[in-house]
Amino acid sequence: MMGASQTVDRYISFEGIDCDQRAQQLVAMVRHRIAELGEGSQWTGYFVTKLAEAEQRGQDELFFVGSHVNALRELFALDDDEQGNELLEALEEECC
């Protein structure tokens, strides 16, 4: 088991990095955020479409996150969502 002070080098092993669960958590945050924004937001239409396309193609949440990093950053920047930004940064660094 990894200690809290250890850093994981994803190029050696993904052991101890729950990329899938964290990507699912981020996508849940996106769904919640676009629901809050409502249909008047450009981001709502964008992410509703992209999430539906990813589902139709059989792409998982981690693939979705890796494919839309910049748009996700913009979404979380709307209201300085630190939790969303931190999770996105960790996923990008450790999993994508």
Decide if 9 is inside a domain: no
Position 62 in a domain: yes
Q: What is the pTM of this model?
A: 0.82
Q: Which two tokens stand for residue 19?
A: 């990329």
Which tokens in the block code for residue 73? 């950053």
Q: Are 88 and 26 in contact (CB under 8 A)?
A: yes
**Structural domains counted in the chain:** 1
The answer to whether position 66 is within a domain reads yes
- How many angstroms from the chain centroid is the CA of residue 49? 16
d(CA 69, CA 24): 14
Q: Look at 74 and 8; give whichever has higher pLDDT.
A: 74
What's the average model confidence in pLDDT over 40-50? 96
3-state secondary structure of 7: coil
Q: Is residue 5 part of a domain?
A: no
Residue 2 lies in a domain: no
The whole-angstrom separation of Cα 75 and Cα 35 is 12
Domain span holding position 24: 19-94
